[in-house]
Structure 1
Amino acid sequence: MIRDSSKALFPSFNNMKAHKVLSSQILKRKKLKTVIPHSSALCSSTSQLVTSDQSQTASSQISPELLIESVRSSQWHFIKHQSSDLNPSVISTVLLNLHKTPELALQFTSHIEFQRLDVKTRCLAIAVASRLPSPKPTLQLLKQTIYSDIASVTVIFDELALARDRLGISTTILFDLLIRACCEMKRVDEGLECFYMMKDKGLIPKIETCNDMLSTFLKLNRTESAWVLYAEMFKMRIKSSIYTFNIMINVLCKEGKLKKAKEFVNFMENLAVKPNVVTYNTLIHAYCSRGRVEGARLVLNAMRSKGIELDSYTYSSLISGMCKEKRLEEASEMFEKMKEMGLVPSAITYNTLIDGYCNYGDLEKAFGYRDEMVERGILPTVSTYNLLVHALFMECKMGQADDLVKEMREKGLVADEITYNILINGYSRCGNVKKAFSFHDEMLTKGIQPTQVTYTSLIFVLSRRNRMKEADDLFEKIMSKGVAVDVVMFNALIDGHCANGNMERAFSLLKKMDKLNVSPDDVTYNTLMQGHCRKGRVEEARELLDEMKRRGIKPDHVSYNILISGYSRKGEMKDALRVRDEMLSIGFNPTLLTYNALIQGFCKNQEGDLAEDLLKEMVSKGITPDDSTYLSLIEGMGTIDHSVESCNPC
């Protein structure tokens, strides 16, 4: 009878082995007269459990030895069925016995539901899993444990230390992986705490572990913390690798200390660590991102002198830097050289050139690079289309922009937040309220949340169309949603109210900015000054200029031109010239706007000679008169002096 039931329990075993397992592991219990395994536990439809105490269950009879045999014979259904009644002591015994076969231990852990274990048992399971060749399973278990908040990371550290001792593990792998898990979860401060706990135990973390922390600090832009850790590593005599040095050079570059970053390369070499292509690429990228291409070229020369070959990243950084400086021809030449070297450009490199030519207004060249991408088998990305669509909107080529969005969708590319913001902004600039709001609604249906940029564009288009109540309502809705409002959004709303002559509402918004700690800028004040001048209140506009200065906001040439134009329209030319002189005294040169305003004012006052003198002066300064200039002269005097007639661009 026992033999038959053992076949149901372990069909893969022979009869003798099954009999031995049941005899030694189950029948040894003193109170049992006869044991026949319970059907639900053993997947049998006929066998039943008979004991002297009918209240006992099969699960209470499961011993560690039986579980171990079940694991080794892959009886996972049986183990999973018993898992809810297994106590930590039994599980720990099984794990300890399976530590030399961590693959089986990991499977066992997964079948007894790891997340249900207490922290001590979890840490023992993690310690056993750390014997696996790959660290991935251990990292996964560590992350689950940290994320569950079953215990603090310091408690987990202590429990891992106990498990390490029980298993006789001599390496620091458990602590290294714990720190790495913290870094991957962006909980680097807890990782650093573990670093110091290791130090207190006299244990030295691996350099790879330290690099993980340094790299995470760098990604989080916590450069000061990176230096604190690096100093601690130096004290503990942890030898830096080439990867460590590259991280620290990147830290210096992020801090804008490019000279020190170059000196750090020399420090590396003095320690017999040879810089590699990543070292130099880090420096080149830093120089180019700050618009210092010539500095990048010097690094490039040093790179070549060391015999280090340039790669795609080197060229891409230089091309990006040249595009930032609007040196597009040089960027194109560098791109051609890159291809001649046999290096394959990425979509990012093409996008950099497309962006450069779009900003320059050369859409033919930009689309040419898009076509070249396709010919070379490099698929245009969403970013590629975003750049081109934005450029078309800037040129008010709405139909072509729509066609490009359609093409993008036909190719299976999904519009992102940036795409929708470009579309909404583009139609807002063109004053198409309906189209702008239709894309806003589409955004919502796609599950993409509108951003500050989205709402600013919508407020702008409503203001431009004089739909100020709707603009105000939208603004209040944004505020109630908790969306952060910035100075650009306020400026769009203030501009609409100033254009509609509602100065009271405009100034109430200025007060609201102060309450919300949103600092006004020169555009805010220029808009308010313009609003006053439209109403002929130039002196009040002048007071706003003084208020700007008191608040530490530097007026620009637009600020002075607004006042000059305001005084000129009122025919108060003495005041207009006084503002012009003030403008000159602080280093702003008069612009076409300045001269046009003054000429218009003198013509209005029938002071044609002074208007003609200003025309001659502006021409002598290389400023070309436009239609407004001549229209003012014609309306004011009826004729134009022959001495300046040749200046007419017509």
Structure 2
Amino acid sequence: MELFLLNQKHTLAILRTHERYNFITSLLNPASKFSFRCLQTIETSQNPYKEPFSSATNLPDSLLVEKIAFNLKHGNVNSLLSYQLRLNPSVIVDVLCRCNGDLQLGQRFIDSLVLKGTNFKHSSVSLSAMIHVFVRSRRLSDAQALILRMIRRSGVSRVEVVEALVSSTCGNCGTNNLVFDLLIRTYVQARKLREGTEAFRILRSKAYFVSINACNSLLGGLVKIGWIELAWEVHREVVKSGIELNVYTLNIMVNALCKDGKFGDVKSFLSEMEGNGVYADMVTCNTLIGAYCREGLLEEAFEIMNSMADKGLKPSLFTYNAIINGLCKKGRYARAKEILIEMLNVGLSPDTTTYNTLLVESCRRDNLSEAEQIFGEMLRQGVAPDLVSFSSLIAVFSRSRHLDQALVYFRDMKKFGLVPDNVTYTVLMHGYCRNGNVLEALKIRDEMLEQGCVLDVVAYNTILNGLCKEKMLTAADNLFNEMLERGALPDFYTFTTLIHGHCQDGNMTKALSLFGMMTQRNVKPDIVAYNTLIDGFCKVGEMEKASELWDGMISRKIFPNHITYGILINAYCSVGHVSEAFRLWDVMIEKGIKPTLVTCNTVIKGYCRSGDSSKADEFLGRMIAKGVAPDHISYNTLINGLLREDNTDKAFLWINKMEKDGLLPDIITYNVVMNGFCRQGRMQEAELVLRKMIEKGINPDRSTYTALINGHVTQDNLNEAFRFHDEMLQRGFVPDDVEQGMKFMGQRERGQNPSFEWKRPPSRVDARGEEASAADPSGRPGSIVLRN
């Protein structure tokens, strides 16, 4: 019996050995139909989840594919995990092909085994095989994720991507042209427009079909980023390939024509599309109307709008909003309001955009009552205001110095459930700074930070500008440091504001340090920055440093403008270097730079200061001949120069000319003439000028009395000097400080002859081209100084 059992076990062992041999040989011959049957026999005779022989790591790829396929068919998902480490792109492709078109098996394989391998490196072919499975299973988002993964692989060309997708359509995996559509769309969504165009051309060269929807996606993406020429190239290829166009294609290409400003080609293109059976729709009309309005071509916009009825179309809310916006941009606010009424009459309800367009325009015009009227109408119509609405109102009331009302709208905004943003806070801070209330602006800044808003460069620049205007430069420097610490990058305006502030304060060392920091941070200075620095050094009398900056500016290929020349010409005149000023004037004219009135006045002053009023006279004549209209400063400067050289007759000729040109003599003109007579001791004529001045309704000022007092003192006519002094005090004019008045009274009581002289400040032209004080030395600015 024992011998029988032993022989039976031996026989069974031999049979099992032969079964394994037959199984292995059958696997080495994939054509054999025995393989799966043999495998099934063995697996059913043992534990289905236990490896019957060698571990998975030692299996050849062909055997691994068979085992994975078998487990998939029998739902043995858990056993698949043991094969994960052995997967490679070739195995994945073979397994998906062995699924024999069974999409459920393919998805099960990808979901349970392939996608769980996070560190697995796919090839374009393996990714492509999975993409086809997902597309055929209508799992388009998953397919697109894999396409995105494929096109982002480094070193993979468009040709390789397309070849992979094409090759995966062979055999049992099936084909679907939707894969190619999805490829083009993915390139567009990934903003790889050039690559998408290349892929489209490769597909067309291989005669693969690309739908019009995918083509439209590519065309729309190209037009959106402004690659109009390339869009037209693709459009021509689409037409040439015979792909049927639709109205979306038409609208995309009409938008391309509008973006390119080729409005003249629109009609011919529409006619061409109509020949292909594609007709303009509402979107086409609105696209054209919006483009025409943006370009200010309102007549053309109205023509399209009026023709819509012939096409069976009705203007929409978008249509009316575009027209209203176009009219407001052209300053035709009244007509825009008429369109609003027309819009209401045809039964269309205006939206927030409609009212905001009108509100912004009324605020731009600083029309407070109109802005409030529009806002009120907006509320009555049940249209909810947004941040733009409130920010516009806050801005206009802040600008108009009605900060109380601006704060009312700021609080009302919160009642509407709106949270102020950076723009709103910045607008309010600008209002406070504009009104000189920087401390309140800083409180708004603190609230802004408490609300979680991040101050951007515009917000910082707003406060910095306010601090510099109020000469709070230490606070400005601290805020600038805070700006750097918070990671806000200073821009050109930041540096220019601080440089101008320190230049105005005379701190040129700090200004120059900021200029250096500006260049180190690759913020390129422009002509305004250089003008500011040159003006600052001119004001402190450092003409050599100003010249160095001039040379440095030109070396950077930044060339001086009329303001730059004006600053230096004025500065050289002020320090008595008149010849250098005239040299610069000649250079400016040679360069073809048209001088401003301020610069012309500076030249007149230069001639007069050099004692050559005849040339100043000649220059003013040439200036008028060339169409540069002189102002009061021009005439007064020349008249003063002529009178200083005792050329009274010529001076009065210019006064008459001044009156003929519609410029009535002002207080400075009368003071100049009076001062001239007083210097010559012609006190009767001086008093006649005084009476004429009063008859003309011009009240004498402190300069007037100073000239008369000095004139009478010079003539030893103290009684008249005291009389005018008393009249001066009665009119409320006193010397610049109490001490001067006390000295005068003390000298009068001691019987001494006091006299006054006029101390004039140097006029200057600042970096913005504005004359900071009158060029005339007898004008209002200045001070009375007692001569001992």
Q: Offset at 1:411?
A: 3.6
User: What per-residue deviation string (whole Å, max 9, x for no partner) do you get for residues 386-435 of structure 1?
Assistant: 22222222223333333433433444434444334434433433344444
1:200–1:28 Cα change, 3 Å:
same
In structure 2, what residue type is equivalent to 1:388?
L
> Is 1:632 aligned to 2:638, yes or no?
no
Number of the residue aligned with 2:365: 360
**Aligned to 1:186, what secondary structure does the other structure show?**
coil
Task: Say whether the 8 Å CA contact 2:426–2:458 is kept in structure 1.
Answer: yes
Q: Take 2:608 and 2:55, find their aligned partners in 1: how far apart are those partners?
A: 106
Letter aligned with residue 294 of structure 1: E
Q: Paired residue for 2:632, among 595, 605, 618?
A: 595
- The answer as to 2:483 corresponding to 1:483 is no
Tell me whether 1:372 sits opposite 2:384 in the alignment.
Answer: no
How do 1:248-287 residues align onto structure 2 when only pairs under 5 Å count?
248-287=253-292
Distance 1:83 1:404 in 2: 68
Query: In 1, Cα distance between the equivalents of 2:109 and 2:619?
Result: 84
Higher mean displacement: 500-509 or 130-139: 500-509
CA deviations 1:199-248 (Å, max 9, x no partner) are 33123432222222221122212223223323433444444432223222
- Evaluate the alpha carbon distance shift between residue 139 and residue 405 of structure 1 in structure 2; reply closer, same or farther with a 3 A threshold: farther
Matching of residue 175 in structure 1 with residue 180 in structure 2: yes
- Provide the residue aligned with 2:458 in structure 1: 453
Query: Residue 87 of structure 1 aligns to which amino acid in structure 2?
Result: L
Number of residue pairs matched?
596
| Letter of the structure 2 residue corresponding to residue 268 of structure 1 | M
Which AA in structure 1 matches 2:632? Y
Could you tell me which runs of 5 or more consecutive residues in structure 1 were left unpaired when the two chains were aligned.
1-23, 38-48
Distance 1:80 1:431 in 2: 76
With over 3 angstroms needed to count, the CA separation of the structure-2 counterparts of 1:526 and 1:56, relative to structure 1, is closer
1:241 corresponds, among 240, 246, 269, to 246
For residues 116 and 300 of structure 1, do their structure 2 counterparts lie closer, same or farther at Cα, with a shift above 3 Å needed? Answer: same
Q: What is the alpha-carbon distance in structure 2 between the residues aligned to residue 544 and residue 457 of structure 1?
A: 36
Whole-angstrom distance in 1 between the partners of 2:488 and 2:470: 26
Encode CA deviations 1:268-311: one digit per residue, 9 max, x unaligned: 34444322222222222122112232232233334444443211
**How far off its partner does 1:102 sit?**
5.4
In the alignment, which residue of structure 2 is the partner of 1:338?
A: 343
**Shift in CA distance, 52/443, structure 1 to aligned 2, threshold 3 Å:** same
**CA drift at 1:321:** 0.8
- 1:466 is aligned to 471
Partners of 2:193 and 2:304 in 1: CA distance? 33
AA aligned to 2:668 is S
* 1:385 paired to 2:390: yes
Counterparts of 2:587 and 2:455 in 1: how far apart (Å)? 35
Alpha-carbon distance in structure 2 between the residues aligned to 1:632 and 1:70 = 105
C-alpha distance after superposition, 1:456-505 (max 9, x if no partner): 3243223212244665676688789693733x445423432342245676
Alpha-carbon distance, 1:173 to partner: 2.0
The residue aligned with 1:158 is 163
Counterpart code for 2:524:
V
Q: Match of 2:491, SS?
A: coil
Contact residue 422 and residue 459 of structure 2 kept, 8 A: no
Please give the alpha-carbon distance, in whole angstroms, between the structure 2 residues aligned to 1:353 and 1:194.
Answer: 47
Separation of aligned partners in 2, 1:204 and 1:27: 43
**Does the aligned pair in 2 maintain the 1:258–1:286 contact within 8 Å?**
no
Which residue pairs with 1:616 in the alignment?
659
For 2:320, give the aligned amino acid.
Y
Residues 129 and 173, structure 2, Cα contact 8 Å, conserved in 1: no
The 8 Å contact of residues 518 and 525 in structure 2, kept in 1 or not, is answered as yes
Distance 1:105-1:585 versus aligned 2 partners, 3 A rule: farther
Larger deviation, residues 472-481 vs 215-224: 472-481
Give the whole-Å Cα distance in 2 for the aligned partners of 1:231 and 1:144: 30
Query: Quick one: higher RCO (CA 8 Å, sep 6+), 1 or 2?
Result: 2
CA change 1:101–1:28 in 2 (3 A) is closer
Where does 1:440-589 land on structure 2 (aligned, <5 Å)?
450-468=455-473, 471=476, 483=489, 485-486=491-492, 488-502=493-507, 516=522, 518=524, 520-521=526-527, 525=531, 532=538, 538-540=570-572, 557=596, 560=599, 563=602
3-state SS of paired residue (2:170): helix
User: Paired residue for 2:765?
Assistant: none
Q: Does residue 39 of structure 2 align to residue 34 of structure 1?
A: no
Name the aligned partner's letter for residue 210 of structure 1.
C
* 2:181–2:214 contact (8 Å) kept in structure 1: yes
Question: Over aligned residue pairs, what C-alpha RMSD do you find?
Answer: 4.9
Offset from partner CA, 1:57-106 (integer Å, 9 cap, x none): 9xx996334335549xxx7xx59966955725665466457786758855
Asked if 1:142 is matched to 2:159, the reply is: no
- SS of alignment partner, residue 401 of structure 2: coil
Provide the secondary structure at the position in 2 that maps to 1:130.
helix
Bigger CA drift: 98-107 or 292-301?
Answer: 98-107
Tell me if the contact between 1:560 and 1:583 (Cα under 8 Å) persists in the aligned partners: no
Task: Tell me which moved more, 107-116 or 390-399.
Answer: 107-116
Q: How far apart in 1 are the matches of 2:105 and 2:667?
A: 91
Contact 1:103–1:129, Cα closer than 8 Å, also in 2: no
